[in-house]
Structure 1
Amino acid sequence: MGERQPDLETDEELEQLLGFLRDARGFDFTGYKRSSLGRRIRKRMADVDVATYADYRDRLEANADEFNALFNTILINVTSFFRDPDAWTFLQREVLPELLARNSADDEIRVWSAGCSSGEEAYSLAIMFAEALGLDETLDRVKIYGTDVDDEALRDARSGLYSAKSLAPLETELRDKYFEQSGARFAFRPDLRRRVIFGRHDITRDAPISRLDLLVCRNTLMYFNVEAQTQIVDRFHFALGEGGFLFLGKAEMLLNDAERFSVMSMRQRVFRRRPSEATAPYQAAPVKIRSGLSGELHSVARNRQLRDLILDSTPSAAVAVDSDGTVLLINSHARVQFGLTANDIGRPFQDLEISYRPVELRSLIEQATHERRTLRVNGAERRTGEEVQYYDILVQPLNGVDGMTAATNITFTDVTVTTQLKAEIKRVREDLETAYEELQSTNEELETTNEELQSSIEELETTNEELQSTNEELETTNEELQSGNEELETMNEEMRVRTEELDEARTFLEAVLTSIAAGVVVLDQGLKVKSWNRGAVDLWGLRPDEVIDQPFFGLDFGLPTEKLREIIQNCVDSGRRGDPLPVPSVNRLGRAITCLVQCSPFDAHNGGVVLLMEEGRANGPG
């Protein structure tokens, strides 16, 4: 038991560190697989040269920037446009037509990219729908939510700016159609950008986005343990409408959930939500404001004037949006700080820049309405040229007389001075702490300098020996290459000599055969013609290219070859030269002759024969 105590202490320290991350920054990693989570945390600890979890917690408390480095290590933000093209092709050709067919032309199409990282997946979905429906219909009907727990990745996603390397997977036509060059990077087209809503969302804790037609969550579930995965799938089942599609990553599947999801393509990890009568674990989407309440709010002009005066007297900027996403109210502070006017009242909130900058408010409004609670965003950064402002944003759902959410009030409290002052105090404190640590470590660094120098000298000596050894090996290799080159040159010369000898032999044999006046025909083992000399051409009138590789007994010329079958067979069987056989024939001129045919064995071809043909005396008048 004593030998395992250090491991138990390490596990306990890891859990304490995870609790600290949850309490300090709101990142709850308790549902993640401990093996991969511990491995990534230890990797970051090794990068900053920290040995124990307790020491690393002290470093996090002393250096707030270390949180971002740790979260970037834990949250592996690997994504690209149309990642895994085969899966996207299946989505476009098989899923999208069915999704569009089950919705009428006026129905809103709701899509959620959970774990969207820096936004490539969400924008890929927008491009896919725009190509399928056309840009105008996509702007009217499609709403895409992109969520993640990594605020830094979400900032990149909201900017919609990508490098040329990031857009490499896109065809040139799509890149030019949906992106505009902005300096060294490319910006996603603004009109389609307004249909994509980004927001921070923890799929293990936060209520899901509901009434979805398509939910994309690729290569995210695999980082969670079984219990967390079960809870997440429950949320996904609630989020999807009946017949809605769930698109997972290659390393994820739903093997034990056949009652709630049917498999559309196991290879591409696409599933369809089955119809279910089970009670949903969350409340339904908010009901739209009723006409009676709207009439009550706008019926008395005096009440409206008083309301506007009260709103303008508040110290914070405020904007109110109804349940349809239409701007109801804008107070004077909001008009001044965000460049809004009274003409913006009645416009869709999504058309205003304030809806997505400094933070994505549309998803927060929907979340606050859905969960019926007030949400707060602290220290949201807004840049206007070189000026930077910070706001605390309060998203507060407003209930009507029937208890249903009628509108949402959004207030912006300018905390720029306070935030900057806190940041300055924090920097000063960190500088002092750093200076103190540097003073403490100076002596230790001086003491280790000599050891490091000595170690460097030893390493240089070792490197020198390795270089000398490598040089000797290179010299040996060079000698072997030279020797191999000489052998190749010798072999090349031998091959050249042999080729010349073969050419001479072939020329000699051709000259011999040509000089023989008689016809010489060589037959191979299968009694096919292999050689047909000039004498045979003059005697029978057939050219070599007409007879070579043809069966001898199948040739039609003046010599009755069937009469030679017996002597040829005897020659093959006995292996001895036969006597000349006179055969009545007709030469190439049509004159009857007696042809003397003598058959000799051709041992070199294992059963072939050589036929010598000479013209005898005339057989009769020609």
Structure 2
Amino acid sequence: MNGVRDKNFEALLAYLKESRGFDFTGYKRTSLMRRVRRRMDQVGVGDFGDYADLLQVDADEFVALFNTILINVTTFFRDRDAWDYLGNKVVPALLAERSAEEPLRLWSAGCASGEEAYSLAILMTEALGPEEFRRRVKIYATDVDGEALTQARHAAYDPSALEELPPDLVTKYFERQGDKYLFRKDLRRSVIFGRNDLVQDAPISRIDLLVCRNTLMYFNVETQAKILDRFHFALKPQGVLFLGQAEMLLHHSKLFDPVDLRLRVFRKAAAARSVLNRLVTDQPGGDRIGDVSDLGELRDLAFASGPVAQVVVTADDVVALVNHQAEQLMGVSSREVGRLLRDLELSYRPLELRGFIDQARLERRAIRIKDVEWRHRATESKWLEVDVNPLIGSDNGLLGVSIVFHDVTATRNLLDELEQANRQLEQTYGELQSTNEELETTNEELQSTNEELETTNEELQSTNEELETMNEELQSTNEELQVINETLRGRTLKLDELNIFLESILTSVKAGVVVVDKDMHVTVWNAGAEDLWGIRRDEAEGQHLLNLDIGLPMEQVRPIVGSTLADPQYTAELQLTAVNRRGRTIELRLSCGALRKPEGSAQGAILLMESLGALNQPETGD
């Protein structure tokens, strides 16, 4: 659902396509606009037109924008259950279907920073061994993000990227170099990276296994159909397509057959032909190199072993041919050949065939009857689609009618299960709307989408893809917050070290050191001051200097401290007579200077007090 489109936003997309060759017009507007606005907020631009002007004058902004749009969140063996199924079931089947000398071609479409492509390399090496892998396997890894491809070619990953891998695989396939892990160089040569736009560029051909996980969800329905048609053309017969958890192929069942629908593994449908295949293969035939004139027995055997139930009647309504599938499915046997169709139960059960046969004869066109329910047993019901096709001879005469019965029970049951799943998802979304009050903005989008998704499976799939995209954005944001947290932790450690260093300096100074702020409140009172005046640090700090009764003649101290706070360049030194903590009169040298800020203004004063010795005092009697 694209909704009402913003003209300025569409103009911005057109500019990106013209200036840089990136076509984002096929992306879903809701998620695409949210990610573009996120980048605009980071640079302080509020209008799409103004942001287009910024892109014209700042070439580096393109890179930041594309990194925001193309999230590139990926890990090794993402969704482990699906990869295990691929390694335990799909890959052995592919190898069994091919000779030991036949090369294997794999395609990782939307490979981002390379984790998916190297996961394929590990999977195939485990199945074949390193030597056979290097000899037979080529992995083509493509993306539209040039920066991500550069990172993928380097194959250097942080230790955190390998946390989900078993330790034995890390040891076997990666080499430690500094603070990075490098994928094995001898295996890396079989992985070929290149830029490929799935919407505009031609697909890679003759592929045995195509992996495209959580990439289709960024595109709208029309663009997905175009890309899937290209994937169908790219795959060899019986080739395998491996998609992400958010992608279903609900409307492309003619191109691909599900191998495991839950894990999103599909095979190229044998009978289907994509648009690209039709363009390539519908060419005039070459010269024949064999005689095919006397193949009557071969045709009979081919008809009898056909994969669908089929009955052929002549122009006179006589049963002429019945294949094995018709015998098993419809209960009609070869003994019925030669009898009139109207004499058989098949002519009126499971549906009245004669009217459709007469219509096909009269109109000379094929007729399909859908949703035919057939209770061929007391406890079992099947659903059929019936094709009635007139058979026209070379002289344009009617030779007979072919009746084909397609068993669509499994497909109908699957649709019923999907409808039930859709109802459960709708109920889940209703519960999320009532409980997640803190996610009001997100719920507005979900509610808007959910109201329209109640009628079709495609709209419900679109909402599921939106949630997957937001989850990857949150994961990307969480990684950014972790980096910020590490930076703050480092700064805190440095600050603690600085405080300890300063405390060591103050403790090492034997003279009394007192620091006051601009209001003459004590902020620093070192051990020398404690020893000189007999007042502890916790008792002095925070007190006004002039209010401390410590035996210091404050009438002489006040003027020089005031002058220092008024003039940062002012310094003073004088000798005073004071009474120390033991009650003895001492001679004291006091130095006073400003505590200056980096720009030069005074934020307090520093007083350095040094005892010059006790004065001689007369002894007093009792």
Does the alignment reach a TM-score above 0.5? no
- Report TM bin, short chain: 0.3 to 0.5
TM-score (norm 1): 0.44
Q: How high is the TM-score relative to the length of structure 2? A: 0.44
Larger gyration radius, structure 1 or structure 2 = 1
